[in-house]
Amino acid sequence: MKKILVIALALGLAFFAANVNAQEKYVGGGFEMSGSIVTGMGYQYHNDKANTEIATDVDGVLTGPGPMGKYMGADPSKKHYFGFFLDGVELDIMKSFGENVRLRADLDFGRMNSSGAGTQAFVLEQAYATANIPAGNGVEFLVGRFNAPIGFESVDVADNDLISQTILIRSQIRPVGLTGAKIYYAFSDLVDLHFWAANRIINDDNFGRTANMPALGARIGFNWGEEGTESTFGISPFFGPSDGSSNRHYSFGVDADINWWLTESFALGLEGIYRRDNALVPGVDENLNTFAGLLNLHYVFSDVWDGTLRYSMAMQRQGTNGSIDYIGAGIKQQVHEIALGGGYAVADGAKFKLEGRFDIVKPTSGAGETQYVFGAVMGFVYNF
């Protein structure tokens, strides 16, 4: 009987020790979690002209014009629209191994029936590993899926001044999500460099891809100012195959962005893009030239109040190059977006945002008539 009790006690102690070790393995040692939730409601009006703006983001979500264009589908059937939306829930998981190796995964959760056409219930926004190489000031090497280090506007709605996203990021005029490798090097506190290689510069689509030429890009950045109001300026060239099935036709472009804190309360944001996508079938398709840009004026009134005025535009000089069509409908057109909004810090990590927006979608003569869209959204952004 004593032997049985001794054996049972030994097994119990072994199980307890294993359980403690397992807990330390999974919750200790540089493990971190953070994330955000964005939810709200809004109203939008469309005139009776045909909608010709259909933008497709890197995850295949189709969006239309206006502040509710992401949440009501690319081709709304109503002139007046009111509804509630859940932009999504993001969970960011990070794990460090010592001082030189780190893993990160950004998991985006949504509800397909609460948003626009093509919305996925789950999106793996980022998933990568980084290693610090002791050369010079230290080289960071990254491999996996990552957000392109380009432009003024963030992929995550929670990180932007306003709720709605501009045509620049919704349409992938500039690269948004990449699968590949990246090197980052800081020459000093003032100058740094990103250089990346990826599968493609649009759609991040590796399914059925036979082109073996990778996409390439870089961003040289300049930084100045005090922490919290640090100003940045960057120039980002990019290059890659226009189509996943051929190495013969290429896309290339350059993006310039600046976020300049002129005072402790006022920041000027600017971005400009030129992009060219070569025709897939010369003589049948057209070389596609696209211009886009934004102006963002952000003012901090107090510790809890801020306001933003933003103008963004995109101009597609041809209809399509055979497979790439950023603004939609395969026609030449212009998109203009004007938004005015403000934010109120309800508590630490919680912010209320209100935004009004007016869009003009102007196809070329004979391709359709000008569409006017206006509306307003209010939402809550929770960061944890």
DSSP state of 368: -
Cβ–Cβ under 8 Å, residues 295 and 270: yes
pLDDT mean across residues, the chain: 87
What gap in Å lies between CA 237 and CA 214, rounded to an integer? 14
User: What does the pLDDT average to over 152-168?
Assistant: 95
Cβ–Cβ under 8 Å, residues 182 and 194: yes
Q: What is the pLDDT of residue 383?
A: 95
Q: What is the pLDDT of residue 241?
A: 86
Q: What is the pLDDT of residue 5?
A: 43
Q: Hey, how many other C-beta atoms are within 10 angstroms of the C-beta on 329?
A: 21
Percent of the chain surpassing pLDDT 70: 86
pLDDT band at 10 (very low <50, low <70, confident <90, very high): very low
- Rg value, the chain, Cα: 24
pLDDT band at 13 (very low <50, low <70, confident <90, very high): very low
Q: If you count them, how many residues does the chain have?
A: 384
What gap in Å lies between CA 357 and CA 376, rounded to an integer? 6
Q: Is the pLDDT of residue 189 over 60?
A: yes
- Give pLDDT tens digits for 60-99: 888 889 999 888 765 666 688 898 988 889 999 999 998 8
User: What does the pLDDT average to over 155-159?
Assistant: 93
Residue 271, both tokens? 């971005």
- Give pLDDT tens digits for 284-299: 778 899 999 999 999 9
What gap in Å lies between CA 381 and CA 159, rounded to an integer? 9
What gap in Å lies between CA 165 and CA 369, rounded to an integer? 24
Residue 95, both tokens? 């794990």
User: What does the pLDDT average to over 7-14?
Assistant: 46
What gap in Å lies between CA 169 and CA 148, rounded to an integer? 11
For every residue of 98-109, DSSP letters joined together read TTTEEEEEEEEE
- Residues β-bridged to residue 97: 101
pLDDT band at 164 (very low <50, low <70, confident <90, very high): very high
Q: Which residue has the higher pLDDT, 333 or 72?
A: 333
E-assigned strands of the chain? 31-46, 55-56, 62-63, 80-97, 101-109, 122-133, 139-147, 177-186, 191-198, 215-224, 231-241, 250-261, 266-277, 288-300, 305-316, 333-347, 350-363, 371-383
